[in-house]
Amino acid sequence: MNTLNKFSLEGKIALVTGAAYGIGFAIAEALADAGAKIAFNCRGQVHMDAALKAYEEKGIDAKGYFCDVTDEAQVKKMVAQIEEELGVIDILVNNAGIIKRIPMTEMSVDEFRQVVDIDLNAPFIMSKAVIPGMIKKGHGKIINICSMMSELGRETVSAYAAAKGGLKMLTKNIASEYGKYNIQCNGIGPGYIATPQTAPLREPQADGSKHPFDSFIISKTPAERWGDPEDLMGPAVFLASDASDFVNGHILYVDGGILAYIGKQP
């Protein structure tokens, strides 16, 4: 077999959660470019309409479904619809997530639970829903969007770090439990990516100077820049394709080298 053919996703059905914009959209675009048929979810009509327009502008025939990924009944219904309309899901990307930047002692229990529900419980619910079909089909790829906070802590992100650390271990456990069925479950751990979610951290100060956090991240990144959503495209195609058939339970950090770097001496 030609090596490049192993990266082809022709004929594959990919479900990418939270793929209306940002990282999820970029990953869905990459999978589509490699040949996959794309399904994605939204919770509201406004985001759905904007997403469908964006996919159309890219020339991608993506199918959108209304679904709250924290609701198991809705997830089961969506997966059944996708199987009926497109086929059994070959690739699941658990991308939907939120972050609340609140000091731990000021964060309510409900706020903590909301982050964990979306960032950790939802990937469990989604994976649980697609694994039976993957077992019957004889193969499957699950990609969990983890984070550097799967490894590190930082001020104000206790819920996010707890959820993403849990997602790392859920990834390893799915690999351990279902690898015998030719199902590979891996994670991508983005570094600091320039998306609408991180835009407030990159806004210039009133005097025109860089946001302190913007300067901090650039100083801590050997690449000396924020990542772009496009930086995640190649890793996503690799982990979704036959090229990664013996890669399982791995978290691929796409962070410009932050986790490898102790930082400059003051």
Count of CB atoms situated within 10 Å of the CB of 10: 9
Q: Which residues is 140 bridged to in the sheet?
A: 183
Give residue for tokens 């690799």.
238
Q: Which two tokens stand for residue 163?
A: 């959820």
**Residue 235 neighbours by CB under 8 Å, 6+ apart:** 188, 252, 254
The residue annotated as part of the active site, out of 65, 160, 192, 253, is 160
Q: Could you tell me the CA-to-CA distances from 220 to 198, 201, 215, 246 in Å, in that order?
A: 16, 15, 9, 32
Q: Rounded distance, CA 90 to CA 50, Å?
A: 26
CA-angle at 147, arms to 144 and 150, nearest 5°: 95
Q: Rounded distance, CA 208 to CA 157, Å?
A: 27
Is 160 noted as a catalytic residue in this protein?
A: yes
**Residue 49 neighbours by CB under 8 Å, 6+ apart:** none
Number of residues written out for the chain: 266
Q: Rounded distance, CA 104 to CA 21, Å?
A: 29
What are the residue numbers of the active site?
160
